[in-house]
Amino acid sequence: MASKLKLFWMLPVSFLLLSNCLHNGANAAPQVPCYFIFGDSLSDNGNNNNLKTLAKVNYLPYGIDFPEGPTGRFSNDRNMQDVIVEYLGFQNYMPPFARAQGRSILKGVNYASGSAGIRDESGKQLVCVCVYIYIYIFQKHSLLAQSVSIFLSFTLTKETSFLSNDYINNYFVPEFYNTSRQYTPEQYAAVLVEQYSHQIKVLYGHGARKFALYGIGLIGCTPYAISVYGTNGSPCVDKLNTNATLFNERLMPLVKELNTNLTDAKFTYLNPSPSPQDVLSFVTNSTCCEVGGGGGELCVRNSKPCSDRSRFVFWDAVHPTDAWNELLAESAYRTNSTSEAHPFNIQTLAKLK
C-alpha cells in the first residue's frame, strides 16, 4: 500500500512548450495557437528512430495499441504529451522534429528525445538529441514561425528522461560521469536548476511566453531503478527519490522567481498525480511487457505484452502505459491541487492572456 501511494509522484520527464504562432483561421481552434514539446523518452514520439542509439523503440510491442503501430513512442499507445495535445483541442499530435517540415511546424513540434537531459552530456552513453541541440533547432524553426508567445512545459518522470536523465543517466552512473564526484546532491540540484533556468530564458528570448515546467517524479520507484539499485527494504530506491526531490524543491521557487521577473510571461510548476483510488486499481509492481531491450529497461523486440494493459502503471521498466499517461495528463490539465499544479493547471495557463 505504501509503495502504491508513493507512485503518485512517478511522472514522466518531459518538457513541452506552447507557442503563439500564426493563427490559421479555419477549423475548430485549439485552446492555444501552437504547442512545442521538449523532453525525454516520456515525450519522444519518434525523434530517435534514425539515430544509432539504444534509446529508441520503433518496434513492437511498442505502439501495439496506437493506430499507426510503432512510431517511436515509449508506450503501448499514446504518451502523456499526446493526451495533453488532445485536451488542448489540436486535431493532430505534434510532429517529431525529425520529420516536421513546411507549415505544419507553425502549430508546434515535438523535440523530445529519449535519454535527453538538461545537461548536455546526460544520456551520451545512450546517444540522444540532447537539449542544446534541439533548442538550437527550435530557434531556427522559430525564425520561420515568427512566434510571439510560447508555452513551454517540462515534465519529468522517470529515469530515462529529461531531468530524470540528469540523474539516472548521469549523476548515478559514476562509471561514465564524474558529476557525483564534482557535486554534492544539493550542489548538483542547484547546478541543474541554474542550467534549466538559462535554457528557459533562451526560449523566452525567442518568444516563448507560457511555460509548463514539470518536476521530477519518483524515479526511484520504477521497476528498472529497483532492479538496478535495490531498495534495502524500502518500497522504492530512496536515494534516487530524495535527490530528485532536492531538484523539485529548487524548481518551485524558480517558477515563482520567473513569474516575478518576466512579467509578460507565465510559468507554472506541475507534478501531476493520479488519485489514490485510481492507483489502487493499477498493478504497480511489475511491467506489462517482457523487459530486456535497450539497456535492459525496454521491452524485448516482438515479445508478447500483457493483455490487460489498461491496468498497468508500467509498460516497460521505466515508461508508463497509455492508461497511466492519460491519468497524468488529466491531472496536469485539470487538477486544482496546488501540490500538483502551481500556480496554474494547464487548462488555466492556456486561457491566460
Ligand X SMILES: *[C@@H]1O[C@H](CO)[C@@H](O)[C@H](O)[C@H]1NC(C)=O
| Catalytic residue set | 41, 316, 319
Size of the site for ligand X (CB under 6 A): 18
Q: Contacting ligand X (CB under 6 A), which of 120, 194, 249, 257?
A: 257
Please report how close the Cβ of residue 336 comes to ligand X at its closest, in angstroms.
4
- Nearer to ligand X by Cβ, of 98 and 225: the residue is 225
- Nearer to ligand X by Cβ, of 105 and 329: the residue is 329
- Specify whether the CB–CB gap between 13 and 165 falls below 8 A: yes
Is position 239 an interface residue for ligand X (rule: CB under 6 A)? yes
Q: By CB neighbour count within 10 A (0-12 exposed, 13-18 middle, 19+ buried), where does 70 fall?
A: middle
User: Among 324, 145, 184, 177, which Cα is nearest to 332's?
Assistant: 324
Is position 336 an interface residue for ligand X (rule: CB under 6 A)? yes
Please report how close the Cβ of residue 33 comes to ligand X at its closest, in angstroms.
24
341: three-class secondary structure by DSSP: strand
Is position 180 an interface residue for ligand X (rule: CB under 6 A)? yes
Between CA 87 and CA 221 the distance in angstroms is 28
Q: Contacting ligand X (CB under 6 A), which of 334, 339, 342, 348?
A: 334
Which amino acid is residue 172, in one-letter code?
A: F
Antiparallel, parallel or unpaired: β 283-287 and 312-314: parallel
**Distance (Å) of CA 252 to CA 193, 197, 245, 338, 340:** 10, 12, 11, 11, 11
Which residues fall within 8 angstroms of residue 201, CB to CB, at 6 or more apart? none
Radius of gyration of the chain (CA): 18
Q: In the range 41-70, which residues lie near ligand X by CB under 6 A?
A: none
Antiparallel, parallel or unpaired: β 34-39 and 210-216: unpaired
Between CA 169 and CA 124 the distance in angstroms is 8
Q: Contacting ligand X (CB under 6 A), which of 98, 228, 258, 329?
A: 258
Is position 338 an interface residue for ligand X (rule: CB under 6 A)? no
- Nearer to ligand X by Cβ, of 108 and 272: the residue is 272
Please report how close the Cβ of residue 180 comes to ligand X at its closest, in angstroms.
5
Is position 232 an interface residue for ligand X (rule: CB under 6 A)? no
Is position 261 an interface residue for ligand X (rule: CB under 6 A)? yes
Please report how close the Cβ of residue 117 comes to ligand X at its closest, in angstroms.
16
Beta bridge partners of 35: 18
Is position 285 an interface residue for ligand X (rule: CB under 6 A)? yes
Q: Could you check whether the bond before residue 343 is cis, i.e. omega within 30 degrees of 0?
A: yes
Q: Contacting ligand X (CB under 6 A), which of 3, 31, 195, 197?
A: 197
Is position 178 an interface residue for ligand X (rule: CB under 6 A)? yes
Please report how close the Cβ of residue 265 comes to ligand X at its closest, in angstroms.
11
Please report how close the Cβ of residue 291 comes to ligand X at its closest, in angstroms.
13
Binding residues (CB under 6 A) for ligand X: these are 178, 180, 182, 185, 197, 239, 242-243, 246, 254, 257-258, 261, 285-286, 334-336
